[in-house]
């Protein structure tokens, strides 16, 4: 499972970063050509439309590239080129035909030549948007990768024993704190807006009008998807505005099947509010692995779950704590927490979940992993 997990991280984090580097290199290459190549007189030698056919698992795709051959003089030498744009572009047949229709054999035109290497030139100083796509849309995969990193694979729960207070209670560690979730969402939001803003901003700042239709389609889509990390950030910031980090404690640092333990919950509120409810769940998660030929699938479900309401309709003033206590008993007939290594399926993880519901405010959801042992 962990090796497969690492493969997913590579697919959704490593490969997108490589694509983004490739995209930024194309953007820079195009920008440098448009900025540094010098105009010279050219004569059109001929035109053509080249067909490109590619095959993949989804079928066959066909694109067309405009070919315009031209001759020009540079550095006291005659040169010939067929590069039309700063970057090679191919789209629909109609688009390619419209491009070559503007040039006839024997007509005069302006080419743009590399002063450091006069053999390199292009004919039309057009800034294409497609390189910017390679800088923006790999971020979609990074967003998915961020969610995968939030997923806890079997055996990844913190197995350190709870910390004991001077008063005797044992404090459980949250799987992820409110602040940790907010910081993660902030980093993703900055990365998302930074990459998208720099990429689209660069295009609209330097490209000549009329802008490509692709820019008016892709940029708003990218901005729209950006509401996902922004929404995650706002949600967690609002939770932090209303609540402190919770303190979840137990009366024991060993959890045994068939033996009760006491759960104590405290969470200070920062503003005057009404608490609709505070619920605690004891959950045993089971991860199953199924193999069919070369295909392996994993499925996780709750094989045991019990819930208790700790608080119901309570009004609090700023600085007051939500405070509650209850008792849970992991059933003796259930399975204990599986060993971290080796991972054997079915794999069992136990955890406590806290849900604080507040009307008109974002709810708090917290997960606290525990290790449940067999009594024998």
Establish if 12 belongs to a structural domain.
no
Same domain assignment for residues 252 and 140: no
Q: Which of 71, 95, 126 represents a domain boundary (last residue)? A: 126
Q: Which domain holds residue 277?
A: 247-373
Q: How far apart are CA 311 and CA 316, in angstroms?
A: 12
Is the whole-model pTM more than 0.85? no
Provide the Cα torsion 365, 371, 372, 376; round to 10°. 180
Give me the chain's average pLDDT, please: 91
Predicted local distance difference test score (pLDDT) of residue 171 = 96
Q: 18-41: string of b/e by CB count within 10 Å (b at 16+)?
A: ebbeebbebbeebbebbeebeebe
Confidence (pLDDT) at 316:
95
Specify if 367 maps to a domain. yes
| Residue with the larger pLDDT of the pair 9 and 214 | 214
Q: What is the pLDDT of residue 197?
A: 92
Does 4 score more than 70 pLDDT? no
Q: Helices (DSSP H) in 69-212: which residue ranges?
A: 93-100, 130-136, 138-150, 178-206
- CA nearest neighbour of 160 among 152, 150, 170: 170
Shared domain for 115 and 142, answered yes or no, is no
In this structure, the answer to whether residues 105 and 164 fall within a common structural domain is: no
Specify the pLDDT at position 14: 77
For residue 17, being part of any structural domain is answered with no
In contact, 170 and 164? CB cutoff 8 Å: yes
Q: What is the pLDDT of residues 266-312, one digit of tens each?
A: 999 999 999 999 999 999 999 998 988 888 888 899 999 999 999 99
Q: Which residues contact 358 (CB under 8 A, 6 or more apart)?
A: 242, 273, 274, 275, 276, 364
With respect to residue 103, please indicate whether it lies within any of the assigned structural domains.
Answer: yes
Q: Determine how β-strand 261-268 pairs with β-strand 255-256.
A: unpaired
Domain count, the chain: 3
Claim to verify: residue 333 and residue 285 sit in the same structural domain: yes
Question: How do residues 132-141 score in pLDDT, each as one tens digit?
Answer: 999 998 888 8
Token pair for 272: 């005057």
Does the pLDDT at position 67 exceed 80? yes
Query: Is the pLDDT at 149 greater than 80, yes or no?
Result: no
Query: Residue 5's pLDDT is what?
Result: 55
pLDDT confidence of residue 294: 81
Report the CATH number at residue 323: 2.60.40.640
Residue 238 lies inside a defined structural domain of this protein: yes
pLDDT for 250 beyond 90: yes
Average pLDDT score over residue span 346-363: 95
Give domain status of residue 50, yes or no: yes
| Same-domain check for residues 274 and 170 | no
pLDDT band at 54 (very low <50, low <70, confident <90, very high): confident
pLDDT digits (tens, 9 = 90+) for 159-182: 678 899 999 999 999 989 999 999
For CA atoms 23, 25, 29, 32, give the dihedral sign.
Answer: positive
Query: 110 and 174 share a domain?
Result: no
Q: Per-residue pLDDT averaged across 92-110, rounded? A: 95
Tell me how many degrees the CA angle 205-19-146 measures, rounded to the nearest 5. Answer: 100
Instruction: Give residue 1's pLDDT.
Output: 47
* pLDDT at residue 153 tops 60: no
In the listed set 220, 242, 264, which residue is the last one of a domain according to the structure?
242
Of the three residues 207, 242, 277, the one that is the final residue of a domain is 242
Which of 242-251, 280-289, 342-351 is the least confident region?
342-351
How far apart are alpha carbons 269 and 240 in whole angstroms? 9
158 has which bridge partners?
Answer: none
15 within a domain of the structure (yes/no): no
- The DSSP symbol for 12 reads I
């Amino acid at each position: 499972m962990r090796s497969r997990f690492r493969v997913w991280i590579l697919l959704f984090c490593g490969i997108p970063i490589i694509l983004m580097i490739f995209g930024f290199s194309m953007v820079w290459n195009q920008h440098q050509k448009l900025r540094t190549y010098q105009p010279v007189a050219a004569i059109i030698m001929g035109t053509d439309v080249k067909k490109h056919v590619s095959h993949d698992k989804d079928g066959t795709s066909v694109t067309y590239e405009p070919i315009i051959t031209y001759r020009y003089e540079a550095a006291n030498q005659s040169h010939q080129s067929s590069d039309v744009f700063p970057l090679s572009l191919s789209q629909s047949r109609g688009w390619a035909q419209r491009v070559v229709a503007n040039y006839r054999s024997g007509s005069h035109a302006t080419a743009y030549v590399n002063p450091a290497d006069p053999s390199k030139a292009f004919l039309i100083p057009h800034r294409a948007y497609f390189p910017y796509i390679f800088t923006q849309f790999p971020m979609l995969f990074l967003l998915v990768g961020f969610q995968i990193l939030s997923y806890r694979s079997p055996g990844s729960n913190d197995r350190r024993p709870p910390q004991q207070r001077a008063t005797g209670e044992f404090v459980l560690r949250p799987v992820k704190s409110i602040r940790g979730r907010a910081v993660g969402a902030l980093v993703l939001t900055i990365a998302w807006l930074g990459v998208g803003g720099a990429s689209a901003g660069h295009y609209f700042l330097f490209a000549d009008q009329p802008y490509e239709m692709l820019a008016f389609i892709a940029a708003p889509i990218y901005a729209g998807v950006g509401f996902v990390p922004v929404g995650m950030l706002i949600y967690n910031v609002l939770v932090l505005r209303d609540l402190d980090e919770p303190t979840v404690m137990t009366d024991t640092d060993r959890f045994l099947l068939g033996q009760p333990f006491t759960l104590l919950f405290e969470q200070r509120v920062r503003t005057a509010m009404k608490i609709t409810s505070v619920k605690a769940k004891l959950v045993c998660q089971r991860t199953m692995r199924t193999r069919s030929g070369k295909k392996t699938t994993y499925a996780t479900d709750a094989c045991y779950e019990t819930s208790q309401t700790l608080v119901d309709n309570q009004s609090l003033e700023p600085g007051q704590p939500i405070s509650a206590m209850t008792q849970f008993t992991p059933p003796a007939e259930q399975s204990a927490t599986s060993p971290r290594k080796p991972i054997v399926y079915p794999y069992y993880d136990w955890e406590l979940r806290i849900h604080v519901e507040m009307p008109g405010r974002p709810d708090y959801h917290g997960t606290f992993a525990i290790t449940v042992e067999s009594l024998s």
